[in-house]
Structure 1
Amino acid sequence: MEPYLLQDEELKELVVKIPGWEINDGQIQKEFKFSNFIEAFSFMTKIALICEKYNHHPAWENVYSKVIIRLSTHDLGGLTNLDQTLALEINKVFDQ
């Protein structure tokens, strides 16, 4: 997948296309909550494998049962179709 910067109209539609994510400081972000650390870490492991598939890696943090994921494409200086795709994939894993 060749990444390209999302244009203004695409950015407006982004939060509708990827529920629960919000645009903040040139990146998209979502907080995920789990019952415990093991569930949170298991989720992160699944996401890590997807990130490797796209060779696109998030900024994320984990504190006990909470995972915060932030996505942007630093190489292109903003939000891209790759960030959108990865966010959609992350939502699918979380919803399973």
Structure 2
Amino acid sequence: MAEVLDADAVRGELEKLDGWSGDPAVLTRTAELGSFPEAIDVVNRVAAVAEELDHHPDIDIRWRTVTFRCATHSVGGVTRRDFQLAQRIDQILGGTA
């Protein structure tokens, strides 16, 4: 079973990501997209990745602003799986996935 990362590990991994913040409880990134349809497209692309990884973020959509929250609910905090998902979300937001 996945283990919750400690604060030092989370800080170290956050340095490798773009625009994310977090602690051992949850990783968060908010992205402002160009339009509502573009925001929905990003959410749909993230949904496909989440299904592929069998690991799903919490997603909040407010017009063209999307917030992603990643945590492994089954263990009560952030694990390596959350960073894997966050990296894939970054690729989508950066247009490389």
Paired amino acid for 1:75:
S
1:72 to partner: Cα distance: 0.3
Give the gaps of 5 or more residues in structure 1.
none
- The CA deviation string for residues 42-81 of structure 1, in whole angstroms up to 9 with x for no partner, is 0000000000011111111101111001010011111000
- Which consecutive residues of structure 2, in runs of 5 or more, have no partner in the other structure? none
For the residue of structure 2 that corresponds to 1:17, the secondary structure is: coil
Percentage of pairs with the same residue: 24
In 2, distance between residues paired with 1:80 and 1:19? 18
RMSD between superposed Cα atoms in Å: 1.5
Deviation at 1:25, TM superposition (A): 7.4
Aligned residue number for residue 76 of structure 2: 77
CA contact (8 A) 2:31 2:66 kept: yes
The equivalent residue for 2:20 is 21
User: What residue in structure 2 maps to residue 32 of structure 1?
Assistant: 31
Give the match's secondary structure for 1:48: helix
Letter in 1 for 2:41: S
Residue type of the alignment partner of 2:6:
Q
Deviation at 1:4, TM superposition (A): 3.1
CA shift, 1:16, in A, is 0.1
Distance (whole Å) between structure 1 residues aligned to residue 92 and residue 23 of structure 2: 23
What is the TM-score of this pair, normalised by structure 1? 0.90
Once superposed, which parts of structure 1, at least 4 consecutive aligned residues long, lie more than 4 Å away? none
Residue 25 of structure 2 is aligned to residue 52 of structure 1: no
